[in-house]
Chains A and B, each alone.
Chain A
Amino acid sequence: MLRLAFPLVSHLPPWKPPPIRPRPLPARRYAASATATISSSTTSSPPSPPSLPPLSPSSAYVHLPFCRKRCHYCDFPIVAIGSSSGTAPSRVEVADDPRIVDYVRLLLREVAVTRPVSDDGVPLETVFFGGGTPSLVPPLLVAAVLDALRGRFGLSACPEVSIEMDPGTFDAAKLRELVGVGVNRVSLGVQAFQENLLRSCGRAHGVEEVHEAVGIVTACEGLQNWSMDLISSLPNQTEEMWEESLRCTVDARPTHVSVYDLQIEQGTKFGQIHIHLFCAPHIHVLVQFGYTPGVFPLPSDTESANFYKIASKRLSEAGYNHYEISSYSKPGYGCKHNLTYWQNRPFYAFGLGSASYINGVRYSRPRRMKEYAEWVQKLEDGTWSHESRSSDMKDMAMDVVMLSLRTAWGLDLQSFSKSFGKSMALSLCNTFKPFVESGLIIAMDMERQALPHMDFGLDLQNEGDLGSKVAFIRLSDPDGFLLSNELISLAFGVISP
C-alpha cells in the first residue's frame, strides 16, 4: 500500500529541506537524444560556484493539457475538448477521445527519448500530473505514463505522485483507479465555494460538484494526501464569501491548501483589452473588455491584500503551516514536488508547454500542439539541440533569491555568500535592512528562530562574519509575502545593478 509507505516527515521548522543551492552550469548536454550536439558555449562558462556533483533530477512534471473549456483567468497551454452532452459532464465519454490518446502517445515518445541525466540510477521521488485538467485523462493512460517514467528513470520506493483534478470530471471509481495505478496525492481545483463566482470565472463545475468531489476524495481509500486549491480576489468576491470558502476548506480537512491570488493575464477573458473608437474628432469612445486589477468588480488592492491575510490567519489557526507564498500544509504534508522548484533543484518535464530544469538549463517546450509534436519528432531524430542560454552567475543568484524567498525557510545567507560572493550578500542585506526594521523581512538564526532586527544590523556592521548570527532571512507572513515582488525585485536590482 502506497499509503503506508508514504513518508510522514516531521513538523516544520524541524523539517529542514536541503539548502537551496545554485545549480552548477550545464556540464553536459541536455539529456535528450543521443545525437544532440554539445553546445559550444557550455564549455566556456563563467566561473562556476563551488561545484557540487550535478544533481540528477528526482522529480518529473507531466503536462496533461485537456480541459472542458478554458477558464476566464487561464493562460496555460491547454486543449479545450468541450463536453459532448452539454449537460452534466460524463466521466467516460472522453476515455477514447483520440486527441487524448494521440497526445499521450506523444508524451510517451518524449519520455522514451529523454535520457536520464546520470546513470547512477537516482529514481524519481516525485511525479506531478498538472494541467489542464489531468483528471479528464483516463487512468489507464496515466498509468501508461507512470510506467514509462518508471521504466526510463525509475521510481523510488515511496514516491509522491500528484494529480490535479477538477470537480465534475471524476467519480469514485475513476479516483480509485488512479490510486490503483500509483497516484497518491490529489490537488483538487475547487477555487471557490460560491456558485456565482465559479460561473463568473468560467469554471466548468458548480458548487454541487465541488462538494461531491470533496466527498469522493475524502472517502477514497488509499488517499491520505490531498490539496484544496482556492483562488482569492475573484471578480465580485466579498470578504464574507472568502471567509466562507476558507471555512468550507478547513471543514473538508485537506492535508494541503493552495491559495492563489488571481492574476489577470493578458490574452485571457479577464485580461484587459482597450479599444479606442474615434467616432468624430472630439468623440472618443473607450470600449473596455476585461478587468483591471484593483478595480471593480475585482476586489480593491486593500481588500485583496486583506483576503491574503485572512487566509493566512484562518489556515494557521486550523493548523496549517504557511510554508510558501501560496501554499499551506498540515505538518509533514508539504508538496514535495513543488519544493523541488523552490529549492532550485532540477526536474524533468514532459508535455506541451512544460518547463524542465536539467543540467542547469531551463527549457520550455512549445505551447502549441503541432509545434510540440514537431519538437518531439526532432528530439527523436536527434536534430534538436537546446540553444544553451548560458545562465550566468547573476541569473543563478536571482533564481536562488526569488525561489528561496518564496518559502518560510528563506534564504541561506552563508550558502548565498559562498556561491555568489560576500560583497553581493552584504549589499543584499544592506538593501533589505530597512525592511528588516519595518518587519517585512525576518532575520533568523541557525535554528530558524526569528531574531530581533537589531541583531541583523549588528551582524551587518561586522562584515567579517556575516551569517555568524543571522543565518537566514525570510519574508514575513503575511506582510512580507504580500510584497514579495517588490522585495525580490529590489534584490534583483542589487544582483544586477
Chain B
Amino acid sequence: MATATASRLAVLAPRPLAPSAGRRRHAPAPGGAPSRPRALSAAPRGRVLCLAAPASAAASTTDAGQDRLQKVPISNIRNFCIIAHIDHGKSTLADKLLELTGTVQKREMKEQFLDNMDLERERGITIKLQAARMRYVVNKEPYCLNLIDTPGHVDFSYEVSRSLAACEGALLVVDASQGVEAQTLANVYLALENNLEIIPVLNKIDLPGAEPDRVAQEIEEIIGLDCSDAIRCSAKEGIGITEILDALVTKIPPPKDTSKDPLRALIFDSYYDPYRGVIAYFRVIDGSIKKGDKICFMANGKEYVADEIGVLSPNQMQVDELYAGEVGYLSASIRSVADARVGDTITHYSKKAAAALPGYSEATPMVFCGLFPIDADQFEELREALEKLQLNDAALKFEPESSSAMGFGFRCGFLGLLHMEIVQERLEREYNLNLIITAPSVVYRVNCADGETVECSNPSLLPEPGKRRSIEEPYVKIEMLTPKDYIGPIMELAQDRRGEFKEMIFITESRAKIIYELPLAEMVGDFFDQLKSRSKGYASMEYSLVGYRESQLVKLDIQINAEPVEALSTIVHRDKAYSVGRALTQKLKELIPRQMFKVPIQACIGTKVIASEALSAIRKDVLSKCYGGDITRKKKLLKKQAEGKKRMKAIGRVDVPQEAFMAVLKLEKEVL
C-alpha cells in the first residue's frame, strides 16, 4: 500500500494552471502550498506572557495553563494524532482528552473544541487541523502530550500526510458499531508509511449495536494490526479515556533528541490572521527555535523574524523557545499562507540545515468550476472574497472568466470536491454572494496536431477538433468498502461511470473492498452521493489519481435557436454524448419560456446535431379588459414583463432566464 500512496503524491506533481493573460493579480506565489480553508478569526488566544521554565522545574505554578508551558525532558514528550472516519468520534475523543488533562476546563468546553468553523461543526468534519499541548502526569512524572488534529477528508490527504509526519504515534479510532471505512484505511496506510506507532481504539462501545470483537477482528484482518489490547472506549460517556492517555505514554516512542542539530521545523498547518499575518503551526524536528530568531523557509528561501512563538494548548500561549520534539506556532508578519506552506521546513537563517525535510509538495487543483455572481454587480465582491480566502488557502486557484450567458466570473481550481463545496459555501455564507456554479470539470490534456500539449479545464476553450489529435483525461483509482449486500449496485454505479474493474477483495465475510479505475470527470458529479444512496449510506470510498489516459472525448455544444451557448458546452465521452444531449435539451425546453416564434434547441458535436427539441411559439399573451380607462394596472403588468425580459440573457433572439442555466448546470452535474 505504501507504493500506492507514494504514487498518489507523485501524480500530484506541480502543474501550473493553464496560462492566461488575465491572471495578473492572482498568479499564485511560486508554488502555492496547500492549506485548509480556515475561519478568518480563530479561537480566542490566551496571551500568557511567561518565560519558559527550565526543563527540570517542578510543576508548581497555580496559574491556569501555566503548567502546560513547563518544559519536560524530551523523553516525556509524545506527539500523536487521531485517525478516524467521519462520525466515528474523533472530535469527541479529542475533547475528552483535553478535558481530562485539564487543558480545557469543563465550563469553557464547547462541544468539539477542535472544530472551529461553523461549517465543520455542521458537517461534523474537520477541515483544518489544530494542535493541543496537554500535560499529563503519570506516577508523578509529567508528560507533554501534543495532539495534532488532522483533516479527515481525502481532498486534504497531503495535509494529513504532513501532520502525520509531525507525529510519532496515532490513535486509530474506529466506531465499534460500524467498522473500518475506506478513508480510515487510507490514512492508516499513510501513518504506517510514516512509521507511526498505531494504537487501535474501539469507540462508541456504549451503543447497543456495538460489536467491538467483530470490529477488532476486522482491523486485524484488513490492516494487520494486533488488536489484542485495543482500547475499548466511549468518548461520549468518558469510558476508557485514562487508558488511552496511559497508552499514549507507554506505547508511543518519544521524539529523537536532536536539539543540538541545526533547526528543522516542519510546518503542518498555517492560517491567515488579519491582524498578525500568517500563523504557522510546526513541529520542531531538529534543533531549537527562539523568539526573535531570524528564520528562513527552505522551499522559497524567504526570510523572516519570528516575532512570536508559542504553544497551542489549545489557545495560543507565548513561550520563548521551543526544542526538538515540541510543537508550536510562530508569527512573523508573513503576508500570505502561500509563503508558509504546509510541508515546508523552517530553519535558521544564519545556521541553515543541510536539507529540507522530505515530503513537500505543491497544491495541484484537481477539480475546476466556474463561479459567476448572479448579480453582475457582485463581480468585484467575488474577487475580493476569493482573494481573502486565498490568503488562507493556498490550494485555491482562480482566474477571471467571462461567458456570454453568465457574464463575468472566475474559473476556480480545487483540491477536490469537498474543497470545492467548502469554498462555494463559504463564499455564499460568509461573503453573502449569490453564485451560479457551473458543472465541475477536470483538467484535460489535449494533444494537438502540431505536437503541442495543451491543458484545458474549460470546455469552451478546447482547441478546435481539427487542431487536436487526442484528448487525455485524468483517471483515479477508487477503493470502495461496502457491506456485501451493496456490491451489485455499487459495481453498477462504477460501470456506469466508465469504471474499469480492477479487483474485489472480501476483507471480512460480510464486507468487500472493490477497486475500480475510472475517469475523475465521472467522479466530480454526484458519484459520492450515488455511492451513499445505493448503499444506504454504508459504503465509503477513497480515491487517488493514477494518471492521464486517452479517451474518446467530445465537446458537446448546446444551440438555442441556432446560437451556440458557450456556458453550456461540456466535454463528455462519446458514448454518453447522446443521453447527455437529450437530457440537456429536454431540460432547456422545460425551462425556457416560449417565445413569439418556434425555437429549436439542439445538442451538437461539431456540426452534427445529436439531440433536438423544439419549443413551440407562444399562442397567446394578451390583456383584453379595459378597466374603465384604468391603464395603470395593465402598464404595471407590461412593465413587469419587460423587466422580466431584462433579467433574462439574450441568446440571439431568445430570452433565456438565469434559472434555466442554473438548472442545466445542475443537471450536468448529475448526468455527466
Contact = CB atoms under 8 A, between A and B. Distances in A.
Is the A/B pair a real complex? yes
Interface of A: 61, 63, 76, 128, 130, 259-261, 263, 301-302, 304-305, 308, 325-326, 338, 340-341, 347, 349, 354-355, 357, 362, 364, 398-399, 402-403, 434-435, 438, 440, 481-490, 492-493, 496-497
B620 A492 contact: no
20 contacts: A261-B624, A263-B623, A263-B625, A301-B618, A302-B619, A305-B619, A325-B622, A340-B629, A347-B629, A354-B629, A355-B632, A362-B630, A438-B597, A440-B596, A483-B596, A484-B621, A485-B622, A485-B637, A486-B596, A487-B596
Given A434-B653, A489-B645, A492-B642, A481 B622 contact: yes
Contact of A349 (B597, B629, B645): B629
A485 B623 contact: yes
Given A340-B629, A347-B629, A362-B631, A493 B622 contact: no
Contacts of B642: 489-490, 492-493, 496
B639 interface: yes
A450 B91 CA distance: 80
**Listed residue (A63, A347, A440, A482) with the most chain B CB atoms within 10 angstroms of its CB:** A482
A318 B359 CA distance: 92
A63 B597 CA distance: 41
B236 interface: no
A236 B644 CA distance: 31
A485 B638 contact: yes
Interface in B619-672: 619-632, 634-635, 637-639, 641-642, 644-646, 653
Interface string B609-621: 0000000001111
A149 to B, nearest CB: 16
B653 A402 contact: no
A325 B653 CA distance: 26
Given A259-B624, A483-B596, A492-B642, A357 B629 contact: yes
A482 B631 contact: no
A325 B632 CA distance: 17
Nearest to A341: B629
Given A435-B596, A493-B646, A482 B621 contact: yes
Contacts of B621: 482-486
Contacts of A485: 621-623, 637-638, 641
Contacts of B625: 260, 263, 326
B629 A61 contact: yes
Given A362-B631, A399-B635, A438-B597, A490 B645 contact: yes
Contacts of B632: 355, 362, 364
Residue of B622, B627, B630 ringed by the most chain A CB atoms within 10 A = B622
Contacts of B597: 438
Nearest to A302: B619
Nearest to B653: A434
A492 B620 CA distance: 19
A164 B258 CA distance: 104
A294 to B, nearest CB: 9
A489 B641 contact: yes
A309 B624 CA distance: 14
B631 A308 contact: no
B635 A398 contact: yes
A355 B629 contact: yes
Contacts of B630: 354-355, 362, 364
A326 B628 contact: no
A486 B618 contact: yes
Contacts of A482: 619-622
Contacts of B645: 489-490, 493
Question: Which residue, B625, B634, B641, B653, has most C-beta atoms of chain A within 10 A?
Answer: B625
Contacts of B626: 326, 338, 341
A482 B623 CA distance: 9
B455 to A, nearest CB: 41
A341 B626 CA distance: 9
Contacts of A487: 596
A301 B593 CA distance: 14
A355 B627 CA distance: 9
A61 B628 contact: yes
Given A355-B629, A489-B641, A489-B645, A402 B635 contact: yes
A381 B630 CA distance: 26
Contacts of A486: 596, 618, 621, 641
A308 B620 CA distance: 9
Residue with the highest number of chain B CB atoms closer than 10 Å, among A304, A354, A493, A496: A493
A485 B624 CA distance: 10
Contacts of B623: 263, 484-485
A281 to B, nearest CB: 18
Given A61-B629, A355-B630, A399-B635, A483 B620 contact: yes
Nearest 3 CB-CB pairings of A with B: A355-B630, A492-B642, A305-B619
B618 A130 contact: no
Contacts of A483: 596, 618, 620-622
A421 B202 CA distance: 82
A76 B627 CA distance: 8
Interface string B25-67: 0000000000000000000000000000000000000000000
Contacts of A326: 624-626
- Max count, chain A CB within 10 A of own CB: residue among B597, B624, B637: B624
B596 A304 contact: no
A402 B637 CA distance: 11
Contacts of A435: 596
A488 B629 CA distance: 18
A11 B215 CA distance: 97
B620 A304 contact: yes
A440 B622 CA distance: 13
Contacts of A325: 622, 624
A104 to B, nearest CB: 17
A297 B340 CA distance: 69
Contacts of A362: 630-632
Given A301-B619, A362-B630, 4 more contacts: A304-B620, A355-B630, A362-B631, A483-B622
Contacts of A399: 631, 635
Interface in B483-525: none
A130 B631 CA distance: 15
A307 B622 CA distance: 13
Given A489-B641, A489-B642, A341 B631 contact: yes
B639 A492 contact: yes
B614 to A, nearest CB: 15
A338 B646 CA distance: 32
A362 B653 CA distance: 35
A19 to B, nearest CB: 18
A137 to B, nearest CB: 15
A444 to B, nearest CB: 20
Nearest to B629: A341
B650 to A, nearest CB: 10
A59 to B, nearest CB: 8
B151 to A, nearest CB: 33
B620 to A, nearest CB: 4
A145 B594 CA distance: 48
A130 B641 CA distance: 28
Nearest to A327: B626
Given A362-B631, A398-B635, A490-B642, A304 B619 contact: yes
B631 A354 contact: no
Contact of A402 (B618, B624, B631): B631
Given A434-B653, A482-B619, A492 B638 contact: yes
B622 A308 contact: yes
A488 B621 CA distance: 10
Count chain A CB atoms within 10 A of each CB in B621, B626, B628, B630 and give the residue with the most: B628
B652 to A, nearest CB: 11
Contact of B628 (A63, A308, A492): A63
